[in-house]
Amino acid sequence: MRPLTEEETRVMFEKIAKYIGENLQLLVDRPDGTYCFRLHNDRVYYVSEMILKLAANISGDKLVSLGTCFGKFTKTHKFRLHVTALDFLAPYAKYKVWIKPGAEQSFLYGNHVLKSGLGRITENTSQYQGVVVYSMADVPLGFGVAAKSTQDCRKVDPMAIVVFHQADIGEYIRHEETLT
C-alpha cells in the first residue's frame, strides 16, 4: 500500500473529473475527516486517514483491500473506474441521465442506453462527457459516457445510442469473484 505518484494521481483525477468536475476537492476534504487515495496491487483505494493509520500494522502481502476500491490501473497505465466508486461519484455528479423503468434492466445487464429508454438528461451535456445514470426514482444505477449531446438527443431516432455503458450495479452479481 503506497501513495500514488504524480503521474498516477494526474491520470486518476482526470478520469474522476470527467464525472464530477471541480467537485473533486469535496472527495478529499470531507466534513467527517480527511480521505486519501492509496495504490495496492494496481488498484486505487479511497480510505480514511484514520483507518490508514490503523492498517499500518498489517504487512502489504497479507492486506487484501482497504477502504473502497475506486478503480484500477491497466497494464498500459490507463485508469479504469470500478462500479464500487459509484456511491462517491453520484452525489457530486455534474451531468446526469435518468432512464425509464423499461430500460433499467437492459442497462443493468451491461447494454448501452438507447434514446427510447432515456427519461431525462442534464442540460448542456456535451458529447463524450462522463455521466452518472439514475433510475427515474433517483437511484444511481451506474455511469457511462454521453454518446450524444443534449441538443443531439432531441433529434436522433429512438434506436440510437445516447449513453455508452461504462459500469453498473449489476456488475456486483455478474463479476462478484473479481470485485475487491
Give per-residue pLDDT as tens, 16-54.
Answer: 999 998 888 888 788 888 888 999 888 999 998 888 888
H or E stretch at 26: helix 24-28
Residue 180 lies in a domain: no
Last residue of a domain, one of 88, 105, 131: 88
Please report, for the domain that includes residue 46, its CATH number: 3.10.450.220
What are the pLDDT digits (tens) for 59-93? 877 877 788 999 999 999 999 999 989 999 999 99
Do 63 and 106 lie in one domain? The reply is no
Q: Please choose, from the candidates 152, 167, 164, 157, the residue with its C-alpha nearest in 3D space to the C-alpha of residue 116.
A: 157
Do 34 and 72 lie in one domain? The reply is yes
Question: What pLDDT does 8 receive?
Answer: 93
Cell of 155: 433529434
Residue 108 lies in a domain: yes
pTM of the model: 0.86
Whole domain around residue 145: which residue ranges? 95-175
> Is residue 38 within 8 Å of 55, Cβ to Cβ?
no
